[in-house]
Every structure is written in structure tokens, then in C-alpha cells.
Structure 1
Amino acid sequence: MFRAFFRSLLFVVLFASVFSFAGDWRFSAGAGIRNQTPVVLIGGVGYNNLMVYLQGMGMSKGENHFWCGYRGSLLWTFFKEFPFHFDTGLGLGYEYAEAPNKMHQAINKANEGKYTFPHNYKETADLSLELWTHLYGIYTQISVPINRYREHDVKKLLWGAGYMFEF
């Protein structure tokens, strides 16, 4: 499964790098961390100053022990010809995580019934104002939610950081 994925990713990168010489198109790929999702893969495509980033990833360790997060961003780039540039725009995202709660499981076991949830969870779905800064491939991202469609045990300010290769 991973071989097919990496082979497909290689063809996309090669196609994008050849296609990027055909005008004002820009492509980017990278990885990063977020405060709600531990690891994300990022891909982006843009024309002139308009840029679209998609990021996401997930992992499962079994029942009630997983996380996933997805985010899409539509951004306008300022100073794109310089090593330091920034993007600003709107982002839409969804993040969810569940983890076992050993204390609640012990309470349920002691009482021989289900009185508490055996897991903790975090969930957010939001529309955000976003600011991305880039310096030689290293990026930081700040997302300030305008509207939250789902909210349970989440931070008020969302952030991310990582490295992206732009071609």
C-alpha cells in the first residue's frame, strides 16, 4: 500500500515540477505539526498570488484511541518573490481525537456498569482567519476561528508549524 502511495506521490511531484516552469503556477509539499493534530502532511497549489493549501492526517491505535485532522486554506500571498513572505485568508477545518481514560474505565469496572465514558475526546470544526509566514521553507500558521460548527474541549487559538518545499 505504501509503495503505491509513494510512487503516486513521486509522479505528482515530478509532474508539478515540470508543470511549474509553464508560467506563474506554484506548488508546495511538506509536513508539520498542529496543536490539535500531532502530524499533518501539506500540499498546495497556487497561481500568481492566490494559494490553496490542503493538510491532513490521521492515526488509529484501536477502538477509542485515534485522531484525525483535515484543513483547507484559501490564501493570498504577499511578497512572494522574497525569502520571507506571508499568506493571509480563510481556512476551514475539522479535527477529532479520542483517547482511553483509565480512571473512568476503573470506575466502570468497580461499579460493574457503564457510568462514565471510557474515553476522552476533542472535536472542532471551524471557519478561521489564517496567517501563514514562510522563511526558506519553514512556516508557521495561526488560525483564529470566526465560527465554530463543533466545539468540545478545544483551544481558542489554533496554530501549526513545519517545513514546506515550494517549486
Structure 2
Amino acid sequence: MHIVLSNTSAEPMYEQIKDQIRSQIYSGELREGDALPSLRELARDLQVSVITTTRAYNDLAAEGVIATRQGRGTLVLPVNASRMQERLNTRITTALQDAIEAARLGDLSLDHLQTTLAELWNGSPREIPARSRSHAKDQGGRDRHPTVTERRTAGHG
């Protein structure tokens, strides 16, 4: 399991942890039955409080994504297809809203935006301006800031 935390993000640490674990589950990186690190182990590896990891795990358990089993630890539950579809739809809608806002700021037409979407959908090569290295994106498409805590949790992944 790989988690990247940003110390400068407005998003709380527990939300960053929760979002990244959820993303890894929905992407298939973490599969049903996979064991997650213990609360203390994850807190130690990420250099955060156990309260932070507890909050992330409790929220994920409330969502039905993970469960803690006596004697077995915290495990990934089966992915709920409708919940995953709902999350993907939300992610797509947000990305499209961002694209529309950018197109409007750039005074681009709806036709241009639709053509670009069709080209990207069909895998056509398109000149996309490179992002500066100081403003990179993480695997989830979120901004990576210069102040980042990045660790692989020991023995998991």
C-alpha cells in the first residue's frame, strides 16, 4: 500500500489517508480480503497520530469498504459495484466541470471541448501542454505539493 500525504494541503490527513485507501480498493490495487496495516503500524509509517489513522479506518468501515475482524486485523471488503459506480460518476462530473470552467476561461467553444473529449476518448494523440515539475499531480489526480510525506507501508505492497 502506497500513501502520499501533503503537509500543506487544506485536506485533513485522515481524509488524505481515507481517499487514497479507497482509491486503491476501487482501482483493484487492494483486493477483497487483503489485510491493511494495523492502526499503530500505519501511524508509525506515515508519521501521524494513531487518532488520525483510527479516524480514517473508522470512516472507511462506516462506508462498508473495510472491516476489522477479531484476530485477523483490518481487511478489505468486497467492492460494492453500485457504490463504486456512484463514486466514478462523481469523479467524472467533477473533472468535466473543471474542464468546462477551463474552457470558458480560455474562451473555447463547446465544439472544441467536445472534439477534445472525443479525441481523448478514442486515444488519438493530442498535444497536451506539460505540467511544470513543481506542480505535479499524484496518482489520484490531486496536486502534489513540495512538502510531501511519502512512504510505503512496511510489508504491505
TM-score (norm 2): 0.21
Report which of the two has the higher share of helix. Answer: 2
Which structure has the bigger radius of gyration? 1
Per chain length, whose mean CA-contact separation is higher, i.e. which structure has more relative contact order (CA < 8 Å, sep 6+)?
A: 2
TM-score (norm 1): 0.20
Report which of the two has the higher share of strand. Answer: 1
